[in-house]
A and B are shown apart, each in its own frame.
Chain A
Amino acid sequence: MVKKLKIKFVCVATASIAALLIAILAVVNVVNFSLVADDADKVLDMIRESGGQFSLPFNEQPTEPAPFERGENFANGGHGPMGPNSADNKASMRFFTVAFSADGTGRIVKHNLSVVSEQEAVEWATRLKNAKGGWTHSTYRYETYAAGGETFVTVVDQARELLPSYRVLYASIIGTISGLAIAVLVLALLSDKFVKPLTDSERKQKKFVAEAARELKTPLTVIAVDKEYLKDEFGENDATRSIDKQTDKLMNLTLKLNELLVIEREEIERAPVNMSELTKNSLDGFNETFSANGVIVTREISENVFFDGDEILLKKAIYELIDNAARFAEKSVEVSLSKSEKRVKLAVSSDVTGEEDGDRDTAFDRFYKSPDSSGNGLGLSIVKEIVSVHGGRARAYVRDGKFVVKIEL
Chain B
Amino acid sequence: MNTENERKILVAGCDRDFCASIYRALTLRGLAADVVFDGVQAIRAFSASDYDIAIIDADITRVAACEVADKFRSLSGGKVLALLNDCTEISKAVNDLKCDAALTRPFTRKRFYEVIDGLL
A135 at the interface (CB under 8 A from B): no
Q: How far is the CA of A225 from the CA of B20 in the complex (A)?
A: 11
Q: Which of B18, B109, B110 contacts A218 (CB 8 A)?
A: B18
Q: How far is the CA of A222 from the CA of B17 in the complex (A)?
A: 7
The 4 closest A-B pairs by CB, nearest first: A217-B105, A220-B106, A228-B109, A221-B106
Q: B11-25, CB under 8 A of A: which get 1 and which 0?
A: 000010110011011
- Do the beta carbons of A225 and B25 come within 8 Å of each other? yes
Interface Cβ pair total, 8 Å cutoff: 58
- Output the nearest chain A residue to B22 by Cβ-Cβ distance: A225
Task: Please give, as numbers and ranges, the residues of chain A lying within 8 Å of B22 by CB-CB distance.
Answer: 225
Task: Please give, as numbers and ranges, the residues of chain B lying within 8 Å of A217 by CB-CB distance.
Answer: 85, 105-106
Instruction: Give A210 Cβ to nearest chain B Cβ, in Å.
Output: 9
Task: Please give, as numbers and ranges, the residues of chain B lying within 8 Å of A214 by CB-CB distance.
Answer: 85-86
The answer to whether A226 and B85 touch (CB under 8 A), given A218-B18, A218-B105, is no
Task: Please give, as numbers and ranges, the residues of chain A lying within 8 Å of B85 by CB-CB distance.
Answer: 214, 217-218
27 contacts between A and B (CB under 8 A): A214-B86, A217-B105, A217-B106, A218-B17, A218-B85, A218-B106, A219-B17, A220-B105, A221-B18, A221-B21, A221-B106, A224-B106, A224-B108, A224-B109, A225-B21, A225-B22, A225-B25, A225-B108, A225-B112, A228-B108, A228-B109, A250-B106, A254-B106, A255-B106, A258-B86, A258-B87, A262-B86
By CB atoms of chain A within 10 A, which of B21, B22, B112 has the most?
A: B21
Instruction: Give B73 Cβ to nearest chain A Cβ, in Å.
Output: 25
Which range holds the interface residue count of chain B?
A: 10 to 19
- Do the beta carbons of A226 and B24 come within 8 Å of each other? yes
Q: Which of B18, B21, B88 contacts A262 (CB 8 A)?
A: B88
Q: Is the interface of B mostly helix, strand, loop or mixed?
A: helix
Give the A interface residue count (CB, 8 A).
Answer: 22
A28 at the interface (CB under 8 A from B): no
Task: Please give, as numbers and ranges, the residues of chain B lying within 8 Å of A221 by CB-CB distance.
Answer: 18, 21, 105-107
Q: Which of A232, A255, A258, A265 contacts B28 (CB 8 A)?
A: A232
By CB atoms of chain B within 10 A, which of A228, A232, A251 has the most?
A: A228
Q: How far is the CA of A254 from the CA of B110 in the complex (A)?
A: 18
Q: B-side interface residues toward A, CB under 8 Å? A: 15, 17-18, 21-22, 24-25, 28, 85-88, 105-110, 112
Q: How far is the CA of A225 from the CA of B28 in the complex (A)?
A: 11
- Output the nearest chain B residue to A226 by Cβ-Cβ distance: B21
Q: How far is the CA of A357 from the CA of B58 in the complex (A)?
A: 51
Instruction: Give A246 Cβ to nearest chain B Cβ, in Å.
Output: 13
Task: Please give, as numbers and ranges, the residues of chain A lying within 8 Å of B106 by CB-CB distance.
Answer: 216-218, 220-221, 224, 250-251, 254-255
Task: Please give, as numbers and ranges, the residues of chain A lying within 8 Å of B110 by CB-CB distance.
Answer: 228
Task: Please give, as numbers and ranges, the residues of chain B lying within 8 Å of A68 by CB-CB distance.
Answer: none
